Amino acid sequence: MSHANIQPGCVLIWDGFVKADGTKEAKLFVVVGCHPDKYIVAIRATSKKRHRDYQPEDGADYYYIPGNGKEFFEKDTWLLFSEPLQFDRSRYDILHAAREVRVLGYIRFQLANEICNKMRCCEDVSEYYRELLGPPLKAAQTTHA
């Protein structure tokens, strides 16, 4: 897949992601915001349940995706809102050219927008990152007669 198709809902794998303890490991990320020539904002995906629920309350600092393969992920997956990662597009292009980051696929448009909207409601997400998120949910908007 071309790296030019980065958009909210894009699933990335970063093979040499440096964790907090300094070790490197392959990690999955879901893009939640981007500007074609300026920046990409992504949130880390994890299959480790830890203290997280399968049905998070409103305002939770994560989003749960069942691991049935219908929504891309084969394992139960939690997207961590409180750890957004932002990098400029030129850095992404360098990582992509070095084959450290690549696109694995995409989740559905509606799901990507739901994730962005849930992230907007999370108190642990700064106003700065809320402004960088993808477009507001359009597909579910309804008009009342």
List, for residues 89-102, the tens digit of each pLDDT value. Answer: 899 999 999 999 99
15: its two tokens: 């093979």
pTM (two decimals): 0.86
Choices 2.40.128.720, 2.60.120.650, 3.40.309.10, 2.30.30.110: CATH for 7-132: 2.30.30.110
Least Cα distance to 34 among 75, 100, 91, 74 occurs for 91
Banded pLDDT at 23 (limits 50, 70, 90): very high
Distance of CA 9 to the CA centre of its chain: 7
Name the residue ranges covered by the structural domains of the chain.
7-132
List, for residues 31-84, the tens digit of each pLDDT value. Answer: 999 887 899 999 999 999 888 888 888 889 999 999 988 889 999 999 999 889
Q: Are 28 and 12 in contact (CB under 8 A)?
A: yes
Instruction: Say if residue 144's pLDDT is above 60.
Output: no
